[in-house]
Amino acid sequence: MTAFTEGLGSILGPIMGFIVGLIPLVVIHEFGHLIVAKIMGVWVREFGIGYPPRAFKMFQWAETEFTLNWIPFGGFARMEGESVFAENQDELDPDTVAHSLYTKKPWKRILIYLGGPAANVLTAWLIAIVIFMSGIPGIQTSIGEVAPASPAAEAALQAGDVFVAVNGEAVGASDELLDAIDAVKGQETTLTIDRDGEVFDVSLTPRANPPEGEGAMGVMIVQQNAPGDLTRYSVGDSIRYGTRYMTNMTLMTVQLPFYVIRMGIPFNEARPVGVIGISQIAEQSVAESVEAEAPYPYLNLLVMLSVSLGIFNLIPIPALDGGRILFSLVEAIRGRALTPKLEERIHMIAFVAMLVLFVGITLLDIFMPVPLP
């Protein structure tokens, strides 16, 4: 029974991770398209969670059917004229033509295509604010390794020791510790250390000219969450810190491919992660939130996923929002567009190619999983 329970958990865990991690963000993305489309006067015929075949219709809002579909990897907002558009518009009802996607000016279509990524970025920003309002753990810096014959070794410091203060001044984050040590190089310094709950002082003299790769004290430091009570911030501070955090996450996501190439990170560590990998990470973040009795691990993942989803969809290749924006920009510059049928055919071919890529990444998730953080 135990083996059966563990096996069932290994299957249901990632499924639940997918449900609570990816599906809400996909729904928000498509809802962004839906809202902007309606504002721009485009009819949205169907708002689907998952891909067809359809499981059932949930409800209807004006002309929009909200449906649940059997293939649970994504969602869509199907707009009037997006997939089927008569070459001879005279054959269509004038009201239908007036509310069709491809009868709208390019700038209106660009706003519609931006609606999904904008919804993801806005969601990430709001979640980042909630993270600071609901509470985040403090930061502590500990010793990862001690170099032989270094000041730290002579002071009998050990791996796992946590830095509490330097000359009586509290330190938490690694930059605080490094700044404090830089200010006392060459001087005898008192460090307050926490070792497995026992707090004591030691004296050492940080080196002004340490051997290469060792640092002033001769330790490798590790920054991590500090156990204990969470720090909660006011609404104003949460907006400020949340905005800064979301901005940093966005910049990091944009710069990541260049960083991977420059640093030469191995493919098995830097490759794209598919639905299975993301679901496993989401499962882990939910478990961490339950263990910490705080929402920040799960909310932090949602910020990362929401930003990534928004930025990914802005890549200017067909089938993605960025590709559709590119087609609209070309139309605005040239003064004429491809026929809707041809443009949709291009997007469909690209979509099929992305599905093949998606299958490949999924197989990598199964046979070459990325280590969970």
Domain boundary among 225, 242, 267: 225
Query: Given pLDDT bands bounded at 50, 70 and 90, which one contains residue 310?
Result: very high
pLDDT at 3: 46
* Domains of the chain: total: 2
Let me know whether 194 and 331 are in one domain: no
266: domain range? 12-136+233-373
Let me know whether 111 and 259 are in one domain: yes
Query: Given pLDDT bands bounded at 50, 70 and 90, which one contains residue 260?
Result: low
Let me know whether 154 and 74 are in one domain: no
Which are the contacts of 167, defined by CB distance < 8 A and separation ≥ 6?
A: 180, 184, 189, 190
3-state SS assignment for residue 206 = coil
Query: Given pLDDT bands bounded at 50, 70 and 90, which one contains residue 10?
Result: very low
Let me know whether 174 and 37 are in one domain: no
Distance CA 63, CA 205 (A): 74
Whether residue 7 lies inside any domain: the answer is no
Whether residue 159 lies inside any domain: the answer is yes
Let me know whether 128 and 276 are in one domain: yes
Q: What burial class does residue 128 get, using C-beta atoms within 10 Å of its C-beta: 0-12 exposed, 13-18 middle, 19+ buried?
A: buried
Q: At what angle do helices 296-312 and 2-21 cross, to 10 degrees?
A: 50
88: which DSSP letter?
Answer: -
- Name residue 64's beta-bridge partners: 61
Whether residue 6 lies inside any domain: the answer is no
Tens of pLDDT, residues 60-77: 999 999 999 998 777 899
Residue 271 in this model has a pLDDT that exceeds 80: no
Let me know whether 308 and 326 are in one domain: yes
Output the domain CATH number for residue 144.
Answer: 2.30.42.10
Let me know whether 327 and 257 are in one domain: yes
Residues 64 and 86 sit within 8 Å (Cβ to Cβ): no
> Would you give the end-to-end CA distance of the chain in angstroms?
30
Domain boundary among 225, 258, 276: 225
Let me know whether 186 and 52 are in one domain: no
Distance CA 373, CA 1 (A): 30
Q: Which helix (H) or strand (E) is 130 found in, with range?
A: helix 106-134
Let me know whether 258 and 274 are in one domain: yes
Percent of residues in the chain assigned helix, strand, coil, to nearest 5: 55, 20, 25
Whether residue 237 lies inside any domain: the answer is yes
Residues 124 and 303 sit within 8 Å (Cβ to Cβ): yes
Whether residue 5 lies inside any domain: the answer is no
Let me know whether 296 and 372 are in one domain: yes
Q: What burial class does residue 35 get, using C-beta atoms within 10 Å of its C-beta: 0-12 exposed, 13-18 middle, 19+ buried?
A: middle
Domain boundary among 178, 197, 225: 225
Q: What's this model's pTM, rounded to 2 decimal places?
A: 0.74
Let me know whether 170 and 203 are in one domain: yes
Let me know whether 191 and 211 are in one domain: yes
